[in-house]
Structures are given as C-alpha cells and as structure tokens.
C-alpha cells in the first residue's frame, strides 16, 4: 500500500501542514486524517460514513459505479458459478482458495462443530413461539459467549480460528432451530454426510421421524445464495461486528451485534420487506401507484429492494439471484405471479427518470425473497438465511481486525447541545 502526501487545504493557516494519502490496491485513495485533531484541532464530520474508510481491509472489494464485487480478488459471479459456500468461507477467512486437502480439513472442522450444546437448545423454550427468528438468533448467538468464553483466548490465533469455525458451523443449526421451534417440530441433528446447504435444508424442512431427500437443485440454489451474501466489505452489520470487536469483546457477542444490525429493513431485512411489498402490490396494474408513492417526497414509502449506498449500477448479485429464481421456479414447475410483478416493476422503474437520476437499481434483495419463497422458506426466515451466510464475512473481518487491531473504535461528535450552564441555586 503506497503513501503520498498532499496538502489537505484545511485553511490558510494550516496550509503548511500536509496529510498523507493512502493508496489501496484498487478503489479510491484515502486521506489519512488520524493526526488531524492533534495537528489542527478539527474533527472530520461524516455521520453516515459516506466518505470514511473506517479501516484497511484485504477481504472484499466493491466498485459500486461499475457493479463489481470481488472476494479476495475473485469476481462474485465466478464464485457463484464454480465454487461452494464452504470453499468461499475458507477463501474469505484465509485469503486464498484451499487445495483439496485444506478444503477437506476445513470441512471436517465445520462438521465437528455443527452440533449445538443441548443446553443451548433449551434456550429456545424461553422464547415465544411467534418470536421473529432474528430476535431469537441475536439471543442464542450472544448466549454462545457464555459457553465458549473461559476456554478461549482471543490472543491465540488457533483459538480465534476455532471461534470462527464454530460460528460458521453452528449458524445453520441455530437458524433452523429458530424456525422448527416456531412450528413446534423437534429439530433434526446435522448430518455430516451432507454438504453445508443440504444440511441446512434438512434441518429446516425435515422431520426426525421420516427420511428427507434433499433436492440437489434447491441445495445448489441455497448454496449460491449463501455465497452471494457471504461478505460485502464495511456494511452496517460488519462495521458493527468490527466496532464491538475493537474493545476485545467475545466473538460470539460481536456476531450477535452484527445480527442485530443486519435485521433492520434498510439492511438485511430488505428481502423480507420486498416480498411483503410485492404481495401488497398484488397485481401489475397497481405498479404505477407504487412507483408514484416511492417518488413522492411527502410519503416515507421506498421501493424495497431498490437502491444501495454503494452500488450506483446493477448489483452484480441481483443478476445471479434473478437467474437462480428463474431456474428454481422452472425446476419446481411453479409460476409465481410475484416474479412477474417484480420483473415488471424493475422494467418500469429502470425507465423512470426519478430512478435513473438517482442511480437506483435492483439490489440483491429484490429477487432473493422470491427465490427463497419458491424454495419453501417462510418470509421471516429470509434474513436469518442472510445471517447464516454473512457469518463467514463477519468472522473473517473479526479475524482480520484481531491481526491488525488499531485499538478501540471511539468516534467523536460535533456537539450541538447546550453550552455550559449551572445548576440553579435552590432558595
């Protein structure tokens, strides 16, 4: 990573001082303002982090203008086509694709850790049956820290890798249990004869009293969804994980914080919101009304699944998901009217000046709900699937942060409250 020095032109009196510009391997350079407060007594004001690189990272690269997403340099569509989720998790964590024996060892360690402690399963009974799976997952994943705290030393690289593997291994079991508990069905154990996605499917949809045959087309489609959602650089949930981790917190508690952040409708909760929106639209003839509402500034309604903080072009993941949705619907012989509504909505929005001007394109969530629904996932499990996938990314960022920790994250603020005043004297 190169370093240049430019004049930051803060004000005339500060011109003599310059601040370094850091160059990454790809993407925009960054002015290093770490010394700015000390040197100039000024803070940078960037509340939504629109112009702030919060860290250096070598995991994922996004070029939102060009619609590019790379994991460790590999384009997302190539990984979705040729790789599998476990291999991608290895790539994210360790930086290189594994050879056959590395992959076999990694897979074996995931299989070794995919069971839940029986006491963890008993937590579920404390939740209401109708609790949202994400609410349950925040609680259960956070509670894992009570199981693996004393035996783990986060300063030890081997313990760190173990924690990351435990998380990736247990997430499908945790997510599946939050669903099976809600419908009152006993949870099937993981089956190590199956791959990661197939295993997730059998725990979700299989009953313990009969055989469950995994449909390989559905397993492949789920695996692809997991690959596409595995990481996305410094998004809200990943930044939340990093910030929680910066204090040296337990990794399971950090990932629980990430799940909490992911749940919001502006982030991972959007796929659920898209499906609800499509159901509300009901028929293509209502699309113009919905478009008009999305454009009306006096209405808080937004077209869910459209727009992205980073992508000002097609989200490369949305193309893969759309294709996958078509394939799965054709395989199942289903003709989902919501897919027609979604495609017509996309077509109309992409021709509309409002969306063109603001560079609002369909994001990954626009079609993922349709795909997951076709596969039998209940709507409130959509974000839980996203959380299972993103655990690979969160864990990789957690590992990266431990290697290069810059100390605790402590943003400052622009104070706009009352100036000093004194407590009134009592008479």
User: Under the rule (CB under 6 A), what is the footprint of ligand ACO?
Assistant: 266-268, 270, 294, 302-309, 358, 360, 363-365
Q: Between 153 and 299, whose beta carbon lies closer to ligand ACO? A: 299
Can 315 be counted among the known catalytic residues? Answer: no
Six-digit token string for 248: 């040296």
The CA-based angle 68-262-239, given to 5 degrees, is: 70
**Residues recorded for the chain:** 427
- The token duo for 361 is 């394109």
Buried b (16+ CB within 10 A) or exposed e, 119-144: ebbebbeebeeebbbbbbbbbbbbbb
CB of 59 to ligand ACO, least distance (A): 16
15 vs 299 by CB, closer to ligand ACO: 299
What's the closest the beta carbon of residue 368 comes to ligand ACO, in angstroms?
A: 9
Question: Which C-beta is closer to ligand ACO: that of 142 or that of 268?
Answer: 268
- Residues contacting 76, CB < 8 A, separation 6+: 69, 70, 227, 228, 316, 317, 320
Shortest CB 85 distance to ligand ACO, Å: 17
CB of 320 to ligand ACO, least distance (A): 14
User: Dihedral sign, CA of 90, 95, 97, 98?
Assistant: negative
Catalytic residue among 195, 352, 365, 397: 365
Residues 6 or more apart whose CB falls under 8 angstroms from that of 427 comprise: none
C-alpha dist (Å) from residue 423 to 157, 415, 418, 420, 427 = 52, 20, 13, 10, 12
Q: Which is nearer to ligand ACO, 132 or 308 (CB)?
A: 308
Residue pair 133/381 in contact (Cβ under 8 Å)? The answer is yes
Least spacing, CB of residue 44 vs ligand ACO, in Å: 19
Q: Which is nearer to ligand ACO, 86 or 345 (CB)?
A: 345
User: Is 365 labeled as catalytic in the residue annotation?
Assistant: yes
Phi and psi for 70 in degrees, rounded to 5?
-120, 135
- At its nearest, how many Å lie between ligand ACO and the CB of residue 389? 11
Instruction: Confirm if 230 and 79 have CB atoms less than 8 A apart.
Output: no
Distance of closest approach, residue 308 Cβ to ligand ACO, in angstroms: 5
Residue nearest to ligand ACO (CB): 307
Measured on CA atoms in the order 52, 64, 88, 117, is the torsion positive or negative? Answer: positive
Contacts of 262 (CB under 8 A, 6+ apart): 134, 236, 237, 268, 269, 383, 386, 387, 390
Looking at the Cβ atoms of 220 and 309, the one nearer to ligand ACO is 309
Count CB neighbours of 408 within 10 A: 10
- Of 87 and 231, the one with the shorter C-beta distance to ligand ACO is 231
Rounded-to-integer distance, Cα 308 and Cα 285, Å: 26
> 278 and 342 in contact (C-beta within 8 Å)?
yes
Q: Give 98 or 305: the residue with its C-beta nearer to ligand ACO.
A: 305
CB of 218 to ligand ACO, least distance (A): 22
**Among candidates 393, 368, 74, 44, which has minimal Cα distance to 234?**
393
| Active-site pick, 132, 229, 267, 308 | 308
Catalytic positions: 308, 365
């Amino acid at each position: 990573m190169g370093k240049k020095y430019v004049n930051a032109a803060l004000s005339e009196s500060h011109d003599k001082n310059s601040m370094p510009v850091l160059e990454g391997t790809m993407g925009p350079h960054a002015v290093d303002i770490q010394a700015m407060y000390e040197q100039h007594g000024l803070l940078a004001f960037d509340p939504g982090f629109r112009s702030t690189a919060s860290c250096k990272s070598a995991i994922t690269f996004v070029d939102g203008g060009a619609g590019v997403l790379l994991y460790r340099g590999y384009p997302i569509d190539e990984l979705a086509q040729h790789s599998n989720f476990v291999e991608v998790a290895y790539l994210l964590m360790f930086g290189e694709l594994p050879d056959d024996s590395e992959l076999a060892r990694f897979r074996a360690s995931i299989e070794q850790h995919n069971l839940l402690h029986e006491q963890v399963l008993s937590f579920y009974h404390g939740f209401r049956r109708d609790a949202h799976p994400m609410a349950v997952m925040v609680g259960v994943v956070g509670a894992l820290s009570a199981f693996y705290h004393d035996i783990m030393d986060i300063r030890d690289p081997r313990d760190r890798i173990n924690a990351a593997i435990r998380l990736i291994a247990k997430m499908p079991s945790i997510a599946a249990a939050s669903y099976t508990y809600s419908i009152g069905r006993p949870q099937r154990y993981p089956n190590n004869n199956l791959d990661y996605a197939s295993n997730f499917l059998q725990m979700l949809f299989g009953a313990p009293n009969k055989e469950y045959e995994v449909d390989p087309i559905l397993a492949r489609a789920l695996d692809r969804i997991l690959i596409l959602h595995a990481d996305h650089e410094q998004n809200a949930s990943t930044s939340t994980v990093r910030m929680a981790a910066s204090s040296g917190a337990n990794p399971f508690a950090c990932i629980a914080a990430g799940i909490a952040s992911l749940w919001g409708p502006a982030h991972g909760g959007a796929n659920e919101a898209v499906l609800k929106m499509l159901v509300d639209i009901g028929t293509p003839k209502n699309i113009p009304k919905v478009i008009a509402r999305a454009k009306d500034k006096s209405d808080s309604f937004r077209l869910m699944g459209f727009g992205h903080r980073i992508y000002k072009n097609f989200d490369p993941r949305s193309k893969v998901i759309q294709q996958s949705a078509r394939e799965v619907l054709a395989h199942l012989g289903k003709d989902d009217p919501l897919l027609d509504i979604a495609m017509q909505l996309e077509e109309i929005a992409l021709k509309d000046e409002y969306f063109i001007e603001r560079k609002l394109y369909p994001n990954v969530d626009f079609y993922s709900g349709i795909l997951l629904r076709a596969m039998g996932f209940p709507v409130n499990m959509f974000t839980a699937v996203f959380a299972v996938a993103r655990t690979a990314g969160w864990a990789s960022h957690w590992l990266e942060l431990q290697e290069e920790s810059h100390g605790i994250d402590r943003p400052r603020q622009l104070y706009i409250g009352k100036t000093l005043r004194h407590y009134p004297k009592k008479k």
